[in-house]
Amino acid sequence: MSKDIKVSVSILCADFKNLADEIKKCEDSGADMLHVDVMDGHFVPVITVGKMIVEAISPITKMPIEAHLMIENPYAHLDDFLNAGADIISVHAECYGQRREGCWNFGEFPKEVDNIDVELVRKDIKKVKDSGKEIFMTVNPGTPLCFSEILTEIDGVLIMSVNPGFAKQKFMPIALTKLEELSKTFQGDIAVDGGVNADTAQSVVNAGANVLATASYFFGAKDPSEAVKYLKSLKPQGY
Ligand code: DX5
Ligand code: ZN
């Protein structure tokens, strides 16, 4: 039986001068979780927000908060995000392995790897799990599913369907191949992030995703509740 679809609203497209109202909008819409896109200007080209925003929104919502850490050295910041109230920590595989040639230096994007250092990741899995929170392993579009050894130790996988850094980008179909492969064996949550909208959502659900992250489709919708209702109504077809 297929899993129910969960919608994770990224506040990247929220109106930050009215953040509390925007959080309420997410909650009232029936969305399942909040997705906070943390960007450091090194792992990705731009800087967004950090733990202070997680700390600010955590007391005003019942929704679980996912911190999507698009930052270098995530291990150095896990405690901060856990203490700030994040319920799910999404770390990038590209922070745990030797980067491919062409993305070593500052300003070279997207970051990509072919392998990860499993023991390094295990330390972070332990830290997050010991605090009672969940950890998702995230991969950029160009990075393969190179973490089969730790699949039974993590709570979810977040498949990027755009190169991280910005909202409103076009969905990259490479994500579908990875979702299909992963969903054959992985029992945890399978999330997808980037370019999820009315044109692409059915295909990601068909391919096996059960958590849909969205920023621009939600905040750009005339009626965000309808957008959430639509996403949550999706069931895999043709499988
Ligand atoms: C991209 C972020 C995504 C982004 C999604 O770097 O990780 O979460 O906000 O935005 P949309 O839904 O507009 O593609
Ligand atoms: Zn994200």
| CB 66 near ligand 1, within 6 Å | no
Q: Is position 72 within any domain?
A: yes
- pLDDT-based confidence at 2, cuts 50/70/90? confident
- Phi and psi at 229, nearest 5°, equal -60, -45
Report which of 151, 154, 120 is spatially closest to residue 134, judged by C-alpha positions: 154
Q: Could you list the active site residues?
A: 37, 193
Burial of 74 (0-12, 13-18, 19+ CB in 10 A): buried
| Alpha-carbon distance values, 148 to 45, 93, 153 (Å) | 29, 12, 10
119 Cα: distance to centroid of ligand 2 (angstroms): 25
Query: pLDDT averaged over the chain?
Result: 98
Asked if pLDDT for residue 238 goes beyond 90, the answer is: no
Q: Is position 69 within any domain?
A: yes
| CB 216 near ligand 1, within 6 Å | yes
Q: What residues pack around ion ligand 2 (CB closer than 5 A)?
A: 37, 68, 193
Name the β-bridge partners of 88. Answer: 66, 134
Q: Which string of DSSP letters, residue by residue, matches 19-36?
A: HHHHHHHHHHHT--EEEE
Instruction: Compute the average pLDDT of residues 207-232.
Output: 98
102 Cα: distance to centroid of ligand 1 (angstroms): 24
Asked if pLDDT for residue 95 goes beyond 80, the answer is: yes
| CB 164 near ligand 1, within 6 Å | yes
2 Cα: distance to centroid of ligand 2 (angstroms): 24
Instruction: Compute the average pLDDT of residues 180-206.
Output: 98
Q: Is position 20 within any domain?
A: yes
Asked if pLDDT for residue 58 goes beyond 80, the answer is: yes
50 Cα: distance to centroid of ligand 2 (angstroms): 13
Q: Is position 55 within any domain?
A: yes
Strand pairing report for 134-139 and 156-160: parallel
Taking only the tens place, the pLDDT of each residue in 104-141 is 999 999 999 999 999 999 999 999 999 999 999 999 99
Taking only the tens place, the pLDDT of each residue in 154-175 is 999 999 999 999 999 999 999 9
Q: Is position 239 within any domain?
A: no
Q: Is position 238 within any domain?
A: no
- Report the pLDDT value the prediction gives residue 239, as an integer from 0 to 100: 52
Strand pairing report for 88-92 and 156-160: unpaired
Taking only the tens place, the pLDDT of each residue in 4-38 is 999 999 999 999 999 999 999 999 999 999 999 99
Model confidence, pTM: 0.98
Domain hosting residue 161, numbered range: 6-233
- pLDDT-based confidence at 231, cuts 50/70/90? very high
Instruction: Compute the average pLDDT of residues 208-234.
Output: 98
Q: Is position 63 within any domain?
A: yes
CATH number for the domain including 105?
Answer: 3.20.20.70
Q: What dihedral do alpha carbons 81, 82, 84, 89 form, nearest 10°?
A: 50
Q: What angle do CA 144, 234, 239 make, to 5 degrees?
A: 65
Cα 223 from Cα 217, distance rounded (Å):
10
- Domain total in the chain: 1
The number of the ligand 1 atom at minimal distance from the alpha carbon of 218 is 12
| CB 204 near ligand 1, within 6 Å | no
Q: Is position 35 within any domain?
A: yes
| CB 109 near ligand 1, within 6 Å | no
